[in-house]
Amino acid sequence: MQKVLAASGVCSRRKAEELILSGRVAVNGQTAAVLGVKVSGSDKITVDGKPVSAVKHIYIMLHKPEGYITSARDQFNRPTVMDLVTRYNTRLYPVGRLDFDTSGLLLLTNDGELTQALTHPSRQVEKTYIARIKGVPDPEEMERFRKGLRIEDYVTAPAGIHIVKSFGENVSVKITIHEGRNRQVRKMCEAIGHPVIFLKRVATGRLYLGDLPRGDSRELTGAEVRYLKGLGKK
Ligand code: URA
């Protein structure tokens, strides 16, 4: 049961044990104050009388490689990110999307409520990208990028950009944006005259891709899930 509580994002495994032992957890209306009680998907678990989701929610961080589409199916039969997370044996949905030719951090979950909260336009979480761009932007171009650019029919919200590495003819920049419009980073770089060569998302809020190998995935820790849920509520 402590595993189910931790997986549902209620608390950490250790905290779950404390909750159980202090008699705050009930299974099907019966207080269960001992550790090791086995529960199944049909059992109704409550903490302080409040129901804990019966579906075991799962939260995955994937290092999406280039060449995969962020969708369950593709009309051109290209590989999809779902092909990379089959080992979790559950239907997962991507939280937002990365382009076919973008790599990096992609979250997937079966928690529809959290997906909606995190992708809602009014609550867009900060996302951080490393982009290799053509040429070297000058201070004036970077200032335009930061303040907001007109792209098609909209003006972008304030964003961050700074050069992290120079390769002579072109540079790598670190970019932070709070929006998630279609191909937004690419369009913003294009708009200041420095098109993207490679694009990789390295963080969503304070969740970092770290050294997760390309194509690999891992479950988020309880603390990471609680952090995400906190973001969804802001
Ligand atoms: N911006 C882009 O242009 N592409 C992505 O995949 C993500 C953000």
DSSP type of residue 215 = T
Please state the pTM of the whole predicted model.
0.78
Integer Cα distance of 156 and 181 in angstroms: 9
Cβ distance 57 to 7 under 8 Å?
A: yes
Instruction: State the pLDDT at residue 120.
Output: 79
Give per-residue burial for 132-162: e unless 16+ CB within 10 Å, then b: bbeeebeeebbebbeeebeeeeeebeebebe
Q: Which residue has the tokens 């070297």?
A: 136
Instruction: State the pLDDT at residue 228.
Output: 92
Instruction: State the pLDDT at residue 9.
Output: 59
Integer Cα distance of 160 and 179 in angstroms: 12
Identify the active-site residue in 43, 48, 99, 211: 99
Mutate to test the pocket of ligand 1, among 62, 69, 194, 199 (most ligand atoms within 8 A of CB): 199
In the chain, count H helices and then E strands.
6, 15
Residue nearest ligand 1's atom 2 by CA:
183
126-204 to CATH, choices 3.40.50.300, 3.40.605.10, 3.50.50.60, 3.30.70.1560: 3.30.70.1560
Instruction: State the pLDDT at residue 149.
Output: 95
99 is a catalytic site residue: yes
Interval between CA 184 and ligand 1 midpoint (Å): 5
Its CATH class, for the domain covering 59-122+213-233, is: alpha beta
Q: What is the pLDDT along the chain (234 residues), one digit of tens a residue?
A: 887 776 665 677 788 889 999 999 999 999 988 888 888 777 888 889 888 865 678 999 999 999 999 987 788 889 999 999 999 988 888 998 999 999 999 999 988 788 888 887 777 789 999 999 999 999 999 999 999 999 989 999 999 999 999 998 999 999 999 988 899 999 999 999 999 999 999 999 999 999 999 999 999 999 999 999 988 776
Residue nearest ligand 1's atom 3 by CA:
183
Q: Which residue has the tokens 């608390």?
A: 11
Instruction: State the pLDDT at residue 207.
Output: 96
Cβ distance 132 to 197 under 8 Å?
A: yes
2-51 to CATH, choices 3.40.1480.10, 3.40.50.1970, 3.10.130.10, 3.10.290.10: 3.10.290.10
Task: In the chain, list all ranges with CATH 3.30.70.580.
Answer: 59-122+213-233
234 is written with which tokens? 């802001």
Interval between CA 50 and ligand 1 midpoint (Å): 39
Tell me the three state secondary structure of residue 113.
Answer: helix
Residue 59, CA distances (Å) to 6, 56, 136, 208, 225 in order: 12, 10, 38, 14, 7
CA 59 to chain centre: 9
Whether 99 lines ligand 1, by a CB cut-off of 6 Å, is yes
Interval between CA 101 and ligand 1 midpoint (Å): 9
66 is written with which tokens? 């280039």
Whether 103 lines ligand 1, by a CB cut-off of 6 Å, is no
